[in-house]
Copies of this chain bind each other. A is one copy, B any other.
Amino acid sequence: MQTETTAVGSGTVATDETDRLIASDKVEGTAVYNRMGERLGTVHNVMIDKYTGQVAYAVMSFGGFLGMGESYHPLPWSVLTYDTRQGGYVIDLDRSRLEGAPSYTTSNMPNWSDQSYRRRIDEYYGVPSSGTI
C-alpha cells in the first residue's frame, strides 16, 4: 500500500489504523476501485501465510446479487493502494482485465496449496512471486 488513510475508526478497538499498521477487520469490507473511479468490488478478507505471518493475497469479492453468485478475486497485497479521496483501495486494473483475472466462486474454490495457481495470480498482476515452499 502506497498511501495512508487519515480516517481513524470511531472507537474501534486496537486503534484500527495508524500510519503504519491497519487492523484486519478494517481491511475487510473496504471498497476497491480502479483508476477511473469505478467500483470494482470489496475486500472480503486477506489470506495470511501461517508460518511467516505475511499476507499473501487480499480476496476481493465482485459482482453477485443478493449475496449469491459472487466472484472472488485474489489480489497481491502490493497492488492495493489506499486512496483517501475515494475512501477505498485503488488498483490499476480496468474492468476487462479484471474479468480475465484469476477468480473463483464458492462452487469452484481454488487450491491455495497449488504453487502454480499462486504464480498465475502474481504473474497476472505483474508482481514477483512471493517465496513459498
Nearest Cβ in chain B — how far from A109, in angstroms? 5
Taking the full assembly, how many copies of this chain does it contain? 2
Interface string of A62-91 (1 = CB under 8 A from B): 000000001010100110001000000000
- Interface size band for A: 35 or more
Given the contacts A72-B14, A106-B11, A22 and B44 also touching, CB distance less than 8 Å: no
Of B21, B110, B113, the residue contacting A48 (CB under 8 A) is B21
CB <8 Å contact, B28 and A47: no
> Given A14-B44, A18-B111, A133-B20, A53–B55 Cβ distance below 8 Å?
yes
Closest to A110 in B: B15
Q: Which residues of B have CB within 8 Å of A113? A: 18-20
Q: Which residues of B contact A20 (CB under 8 A)?
A: 49-51, 112-113, 132-133
A-side interface residues toward B, CB under 8 Å? 1, 4, 11, 13-16, 18-28, 44-56, 59, 61, 70, 72, 74, 77-78, 82, 104, 106, 109-113, 132-133
